[in-house]
Amino acid sequence: MKSDNMSQVNTVKEIKTRVTTCRLRDDGILESIGFQGVEVKLADAIEIIEAQAVLAAGKKHPLIVNIIGTKHLDRDARMYFTGKKAEINVSFMALVVNSSIEKMIANFIIGFNKSSFPVKVFTSEEESISWLKGLMK
């Protein structure tokens, strides 16, 4: 197990894709952390969802997606992330963005792409984890 000093949890399993690190934490949260400056395309979205499925092992988990360093998500990738395959292993999701403006844009996009689980946008990773853990109780 690998320890993560920032959030004080251990990583149970980790998979790196071209644009993210996906991991299952020992508190049961799936986490996807975008690499700095990457542009996410459809093929990347498919790879990320497949990695999350491997980590989830057929169970639903809360998911935190940190896209603070991500440069761009193309339309096809956004559509895939809001599709049925992306929902299979997620119970609820926290999206962490860089600024209030990005939060406003993300909320606008989420409003048009309703998911089958609760989604909330944050500018703080700590607040997003607190929200997820509150829903896990």
Report CA dihedral (119, 53, 23, 100) to the nearest 10 degrees: -20
In terms of pLDDT, which residue wins out, 121 or 117? 121
CB distance 63 to 90 below 8 Å: yes
| CATH numeric code, 2-136 | 3.30.750.24
For the segment 21-77, what is each residue's pLDDT rounded down to a tens digit? 999 999 999 999 999 999 999 999 999 999 999 999 999 999 999 999 899 889 899
Instruction: Name the residue ranges covered by the structural domains of the chain.
Output: 2-136
Alpha helices in the chain (DSSP H): 42-56, 75-81, 84-87, 100-112, 125-136
**pLDDT-based confidence at residue 3 (cuts at 50, 70, 90):** very low
What per-residue confidence (pLDDT) applies to 122?
95
CA distances from 56 to 10, 70, 83, 86, 99 (A): 16, 23, 17, 12, 29
Count of all residues that appear for the chain in the document: 137
Model pTM score: 0.86
Q: Once rounded to an integer, what is the mean pLDDT over residues 91-100?
A: 92
